[in-house]
Amino acid sequence: MSAMPDPRAAYPRAVTLSSGSAIQLRLMTPADADRIMAFARALPADDLLFLRTDITDPGVVAQWVRNLGAGRTITVLAEADGDLAGYASLHYSEINWQRHLGEIRLQAGARFRSQGLGRALAGEIFGIARGLKLRKLVAQMTTDQRGAVATFERLGFRPEALLQDFVMDRAGRTRDLMVMAYDVEGLTDHLD
């Protein structure tokens, strides 16, 4: 796999949501660790049940920052008036047998949902994935996350697998995991 073009060249930049809100997009840095935890702690309780990793935990966020430094994760932050409005991350590896895959993780703050923030952030990750020459993006969520499933379906992702009782939420309940995927080529058709 060839080296990724430097994503910093595209950031920071502004986008406008359907509500008219101005959003600034930039790449996450290690200095953002506390902001990520504060953002996560402000999410509705139901959202916290479904986080893949507990990003309210400083150790988990420290690992995220290490992955940024190691080049295994790229995270785009969305800010509105200096507040964190959401983020999207691309997780990938250049050395394993799934080096053609990237995993997208996306979270919009409650105040910015249904305004196109998730779509804008996903578009950023799609562009980064193309730059990395990834062939497929994967998104994982529980079947309970109907809004997330619908969002990824609108973006062109399709279910690939349903795994029974495969994840445990923060409350200790097992839930079914849905794995959705999309081939990177042609993603822009779903963003117009």
Q: How far apart are CA 99 and CA 101, in angstroms?
A: 5
Contacts of 10 (CB under 8 A, 6+ apart): 127
| Residue at token pair 């959705």 | 180
User: Mean pLDDT in the chain?
Assistant: 86
Q: What is the C-alpha radius of gyration for the chain, rounded to an integer number of angstroms?
A: 16
What fold is seen in the domain 7-186? Aminopeptidase (3.40.630)
Q: Tell me whether strands 13-16 and 101-108 are parallel, antiparallel or unpaired.
A: unpaired
pLDDT at 172: 86
Q: Where are the domains of the chain?
A: 7-186
- Segments in the chain below pLDDT 70: 1-9, 49, 185-192
